[in-house]
């Protein structure tokens, strides 16, 4: 049973990640990759904003009672994203590239994009 719940959460998450990706494209970003996985975790979206690599965490909430989606990216999650981003830059030979960490919150049909949401 737990496996089905996890599968459903991933399916739902994928829909909102696609919406966030579309939002980024509409705002001039180049999408590089969805769901980059490494041993330390996962990055929902990797994109480029000009010469800057943007590592995005997408958070969805169905309503206000579930809390603000941006608050869900706690310090532990930030560290995991940072470690994945570091691994990605080394793996792709772009260690010296400019990078930033954004959070995209999806609440119903509203998208909130926080640039430089945290520092690695």
Percent of the chain whose predicted confidence (pLDDT) is above 90: 68
- pLDDT tens for 18-47 read 999 999 999 999 999 999 999 999 999 999
Structure tokens given for 55? 């590592």
Instruction: Indicate the pLDDT class of residue 11, thresholds 50, 70 and 90.
Output: low
Find the CATH number of the domain harbouring 77.
3.40.1350.10
Instruction: Indicate the pLDDT class of residue 10, thresholds 50, 70 and 90.
Output: low
Domain span at residue 78? 2-118
Structure tokens given for 119? 């520092």
Dihedral sign, CA of 95, 96, 97, 100? positive
Regarding pTM above 0.85, the answer is yes
Angle value at C-alpha 99, between 85 and 90, nearest 5 degrees: 45
Task: Provide the number of structural domains found in the chain.
Answer: 1
Between the alpha carbon of residue 68 and those of residues 32, 43, 48, 87, 92, the distances in Å are 27, 20, 26, 29, 33
> Cα–Cα distance between 77 and 90 in angstroms, integer?
20
């Amino acid at each position: 049973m737990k496996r089905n719940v996890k599968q459903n959460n991933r399916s739902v998450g994928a829909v909102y990640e696609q919406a966030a990706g579309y939002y980024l494209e509409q705002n001039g970003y180049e999408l590089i990759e969805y769901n980059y996985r490494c041993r330390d975790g996962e990055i929902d979206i990797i994109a480029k904003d000009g010469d800057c690599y943007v590592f995005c965490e997408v958070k969805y909430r169905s309503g206000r009672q579930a809390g603000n989606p941006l608050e869900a990216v706690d310090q532990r999650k930030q560290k995991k994203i940072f470690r994945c981003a570091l691994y990605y830059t080394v793996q792709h030979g772009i260690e010296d590239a400019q990078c930033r960490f954004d959070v995209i919150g999806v609440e119903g049909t509203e998208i909130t994009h926080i640039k430089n949401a945290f520092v690695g």
